[in-house]
Structure formats: C-alpha cells, structure tokens
Structure 1
C-alpha cells in the first residue's frame, strides 16, 4: 500500500480507503456486526489505514462499529466521519434522503455525539455531509476552525452528492481551503471529478480529492454483469437499466488497461484515479474479504502509463465508442444548474 497526504494538513491516508457506509447498514448487502468488524480489521491487515464513515450511516451504528473495531489501533489509522443529516429528529423512509441541518449549534452537538460513538477525542478528517453551498456560512467555517484549533479535527472536508449539489459545492471547498472534497469519480463518471481537479490546479489550491464509487456501481469491477440479478434493496438497483447496458459495451474498449494480467479491471479503475496527483484516496465499496484483498492491492499494481492515460482521455471524449444514452446525463444543482454550464451535463431539476 502507498500513502498520500490530504492537502497540506499533514493527514496521511492510504491510497485505497475503506468506505464504512457498508458497515452498520444493509444498503450494500446484509452482514452481521461481527463480520463487519472483521472486515475492518482485515482491511487494516492489507495496509488500509483510511476509514471513512458518517453519523447518518445506520443512524450512528457505523461509527460505533468502526470505533469498536479499531479502538486498539486508534493511533495507527486515519478516521474520517461526516455530519449534517438530522436523523435524530426525522425517521428514515427506505433509501429516501433525510433533512439536513447545517446550523452551527446543531453541528456542534452532532459532532460531539460522533466522537462519543467513535470512542475518540478527535477525528483526522471531519466532512460536511452534502451541504448546499448556501448553507456553509461564516458560523460554520468558524466552527471548523475552532475544532482544528482545539485539536478535535486535523483536516476538514466537504462530501458531495449524489442528491444535493455538486460543482458549486466543490468549488466552494477549494475556495475556502478545505483539505478534501469527496465526490463520485470513476472512468465512466468523470464529471465533477475532472472539474474539481481543474479548479484545484487553476487556483494552485491544496485541496485533495477523495474518490468514491470508483467502480461505477459494479460495472468496472465486473460484479454486475448482464446475467446478474440484484437483490431487493441493493443500492445499485437505483441505476437505470440503460446505465448497465451501455456500460457493458464501454468496458470492452478498456480491456487494454488490464495489461496482460498485471492488474485486473477493478484495479485498473483505481489506478486510473490515482494517476491524478490531486486524488489522495479511493474508497471502493467492499462487500467481501476477496474485494478487500484485490482492491487494496491495486495501490501496488503498475501505474498507468502516459499512453494509457491518453487513450482513456480519447475514449472518454467519444463516449467509449457507444452511441446511445446511458440515462445518467443529469446532475443535481443547488444553484439551478448554473454550475453545470459547459460540462455537458444537464440540471436534474428541469
């Protein structure tokens, strides 16, 4: 495993991280709590030191399980969590989105409760969870600075989407010198990741990108194939059929990335993300020990060559040779789509 630093915060993260949204919830498959904790420890054994959870995952249970599993190695790992969804006062309706609360006093109480659940007196990275750009006011920014000064937070981030804003929010994170912006980013879904990388480079900012959904909901790790029947409640089932149908065609044009067995397609998808210096960590959705073994090892597979990166760029420009709609050409926006101009994406609000 190789390691990178979040911005200029000094916080080190493993190039492959553990997205703990699979822990404490059944949205990505059902598993016992003992199995969940065993997965966390197994990930650590594979060199993963960055563990990313959120208070809303399992309504606090993910944080508790992460805290329990990693209590005796707290100083060896990088813990990240998120706050901003008010599940304390609102019931969860299936996979529906809960109301958000970005009031500074609410965030203060929510974060203190998260620290209790994680059984720690600080987190390495605290992220605002899907905050709209207009919700992060001076009071919130001052609160984040206060926590850093008190040693309760080493780095701050802004975790984006999918249901809230995108580009305006990530640009605000860069403008306000957040250490990290977390976003969906993969070979097939390159907006808004490409946009944020351009913003970081243009402003010479120290913000890092944390890439989630690197395998595009099962396509790039080939866990969702034409014959796959997703179980009821599987979060990947919310993608339109056209997404998978076009994806199976696109992936055939990426076989050159497997490099004659030196790396699998799933590993290549991670290495493509890591070919961007601004990407600090990639957080796949682990379901099994086998996933962890294969994807954690991606960090040590051969990096993409300049020629491979260039070929991906060419394929992306021509939609990977597929001439039909994949049903995923719209993004949500908190500024009525103004931030999507010039991206080739449409505002989902229309």
Structure 2
C-alpha cells in the first residue's frame, strides 16, 4: 500500500484513493443518460488506475448500476464496486428513506443482478431512516454479510451517534459524507470519528457539483432538471461569492502547476484517511486523475486556502438541500 491507495476494512487489497462516482451516469438530475459514453468513461477510469466504482440504485433508479455492470462485464478489470441502499421510490420517482429489513434484502438482490456480481464489495446505507431503528438495519446487513452477499459494510450521511448504534450490531468499514473545500461540516464530528475508529471516509462531491472545476462563470444557469438549480450556492445572491473564491483558489493551484480541479481533490486526500469520489460521465472528464498523486499541499497553501474561503464565503452554505424526505408511515 502507498499514499495513492487505502485499505478498506474487509477488503483483501487496497483500492485507489480516487474512486469513480457514477451519480451523473445514471442520468437522473443530470440531464439524462448517455450509456455508451458512460461505459467509455468507466473504461477510461480503469485504464487510469481507478479501481473503486461508487454507485447506487437511486442514481437513475437502477440505471447507473446497470451501466456499471455492463461496463465491468465488457472489460477485464480488478475493480471493486461500492453501492448503496435504503432509498425507496414510487412511480413518481421521488426518493424517500426506507431502511426496513425487507427493503434492504430486496435492494441487495436487485443490486447483485444489475451489477452482474455475486458479492457486493462495499454496501452502504445511503441515508439514515428515522422510521426504522438503526440496529434493525444493521442486523439485516450483517445477515447478508454472513451469507457472502456483501464483503464490507458502510454508511452514508450518518452522524457519529448513529454510527455508534450501527457498530454495536455490525462491523463498519466506511462512512460516506459530502466533503470539499466549500462543504466542511464533517470536520467537526464525522472525520474525527472516522479517524478514531479506523473507518475510511468516502468524500462525495469533492468538486462541489462542478464549482471547483474552475470552468463556471457567474452567468452560468441550470435547467430545472439539474440538481444545481435547487442548490443555494448556485443561486444569484451566493453564486458570485463562490465564483470569486474559485478565481482566487486558482492561484494556489498555479503554484504547483496543477488545475483547480486537481487541487480540490488533493486537498480532500490530504485530510485522510479519505477517498475522493471523482464524478464523471464523459471520458475526457477523467483527465487529471494521475495529476492528483505525487505531491501534497504545504501548510502555507492550506492557510492561504482558508484565508480565501474566509474572505469570500464567511458563512458557508451546507449541502443539506440534498437530503431526501423520510417515508410516510
């Protein structure tokens, strides 16, 4: 194992610290699917040494998992697949939380079929369900783990208190949370907890839904079908401040001869033990993965980054808008 890889508890070998995020590949809330391009994107990621693919049933309501399954079946690989469960939906395709034991078992079976695998490498509870006791959720997952259908268990969007309850029933290998230069709430609790209990943190949204690519301008708009149309950061009154911060952050990236996107990913990795989920839906969006490794931010870089954020975004906006509702009981 080197600084480019990390061992998730329960795995027999380390995986790359940059994983491919496949929310956009599912199409839902990202302008619709483009399957052939998505398959080429996954293959490109594998060629670049990315050997962990993160997906979920709710990404396109099964579609992302199907595309991942197809892509991995078409190309020899040694990749591991992380997926999620505990989001349900009806015909209106409006997700809600459901981590009941029956739902969990059904989702695991459905994911195995869509991914074309016999064992899910990392199964994560997507969101805590306030209407199902956490120990019931953990107990059903532990059964599936013992049945050989799951290699390792993780949670997503859980608090330390919720993880404590889960860990009383089943072993926990990882936690997945939103984490990037603009969204740092987990530094208060989740990240220290993960370090203390030797959990790997999968950071989703490390590019803050495209903000940290450095390619947006203040006049950029988003259609209603785009997730960002509902994100307060991308609304006119706040967007200009975030773009101003992005413009200043580019100077830090320039010090190292890197793109802002690479800087943003490197920053996440420097907070370790972390894996950054690099979201992409086109092969060219994989460009830059190799530039993430082989260097680190200096302490002065980190101080300058914090100063830029304090100057332009003194009151950061949380990613809470993404939270799905609880199910009706």
Range into which the TM-score falls when normalised by the shorter chain: 0.7 to 0.9
Once the 2 structures are TM-superposed, how far is the Cα of residue 291 of structure 1 from its aligned partner?
Answer: 1.6
Asked if 1 retains the 8 angstrom alpha-carbon contact of 2:154 and 2:175, the reply is yes
Once the 2 structures are TM-superposed, how far is the Cα of residue 118 of structure 1 from its aligned partner?
Answer: 0.9
Once the 2 structures are TM-superposed, how far is the Cα of residue 292 of structure 1 from its aligned partner?
Answer: 0.7
Q: 1:323 to 1:118 in 2, by over 3 A?
A: closer
Q: 1:115 to 1:155 in 2, by over 3 A?
A: same
CA separation in 2, counterparts of 1:126 and 1:234?
Answer: 27
CA separation in 2, counterparts of 1:264 and 1:313?
Answer: 18
Asked if 2 retains the 8 angstrom alpha-carbon contact of 1:200 and 1:207, the reply is yes
2:204 matched to 1:212? yes
Report the equivalent of 1:81. 83
Report the equivalent of 2:150. 153
Once the 2 structures are TM-superposed, how far is the Cα of residue 255 of structure 1 from its aligned partner?
Answer: 3.2
Q: Secondary structure of the equivalent of 1:246?
A: helix
Report the equivalent of 1:35. 37
Q: Secondary structure of the equivalent of 2:97?
A: coil
Asked if 2 retains the 8 angstrom alpha-carbon contact of 1:187 and 1:269, the reply is yes
TM-score between the two structures when normalised by the length of structure 1: 0.80
Q: Which deviations, in whole Å up to 9, do the C-alpha atoms of 1:89-132 show, x marking residues without a partner?
A: x1235xxx423221112211221111011111101100111123
Q: 1:290 to 1:323 in 2, by over 3 A?
A: closer
CA separation in 2, counterparts of 1:28 and 1:41?
Answer: 20
Q: Counterparts in 2 of 1:231-242, with a 5 A limit?
A: 231-240=223-232, 241-242=236-237
Asked if 1 retains the 8 angstrom alpha-carbon contact of 2:40 and 2:282, the reply is no
Q: 1:141 to 1:74 in 2, by over 3 A?
A: farther
Which residue of 286, 293, 298 maps to 1:305? 298
Q: Secondary structure of the equivalent of 1:209?
A: strand
Q: 1:267 to 1:32 in 2, by over 3 A?
A: same
CA separation in 2, counterparts of 1:109 and 1:249?
Answer: 46
CA separation in 1, counterparts of 2:139 and 2:224?
Answer: 43
Asked if 2 retains the 8 angstrom alpha-carbon contact of 1:184 and 1:211, the reply is yes
2:246 matched to 1:244? no
Asked if 2 retains the 8 angstrom alpha-carbon contact of 1:166 and 1:192, the reply is no
Q: 1:19 to 1:289 in 2, by over 3 A?
A: same
Report the equivalent of 2:53. 51
TM-score between the two structures when normalised by the length of structure 2: 0.85
Q: Secondary structure of the equivalent of 1:258?
A: helix
CA separation in 2, counterparts of 1:310 and 1:173?
Answer: 36
Q: 1:28 to 1:104 in 2, by over 3 A?
A: same
Q: Secondary structure of the equivalent of 2:211?
A: coil
Asked if 2 retains the 8 angstrom alpha-carbon contact of 1:33 and 1:65, the reply is yes
Once the 2 structures are TM-superposed, how far is the Cα of residue 244 of structure 1 from its aligned partner?
Answer: 1.7
Query: RMSD across aligned C-alpha pairs, in angstroms?
Result: 2.9
2:143 matched to 1:143? no
Which residue of 100, 105, 109 maps to 1:103? 100
Paired residues in the alignment total: 317
CA separation in 1, counterparts of 2:160 and 2:252?
Answer: 29
CA separation in 2, counterparts of 1:242 and 1:218?
Answer: 18
Segments of structure 2 that go 5 or more residues without pairing to the other structure are 324-329
CA separation in 1, counterparts of 2:267 and 2:279?
Answer: 17
Report the equivalent of 2:282. 288
CA separation in 1, counterparts of 2:319 and 2:26?
Answer: 30
Q: Which deviations, in whole Å up to 9, do the C-alpha atoms of 1:265-297 show, x marking residues without a partner?
A: 110000000002221x11132143222112x22
Report the equivalent of 1:196. 190
Q: Secondary structure of the equivalent of 1:69?
A: helix
Asked if 2 retains the 8 angstrom alpha-carbon contact of 1:84 and 1:130, the reply is yes
Bigger shift: 113-122 or 70-79?
70-79
Asked if 2 retains the 8 angstrom alpha-carbon contact of 1:182 and 1:211, the reply is yes
Segments of structure 1 that go 5 or more residues without pairing to the other structure are 335-350
Which residue of 117, 122, 125 maps to 1:125? 122
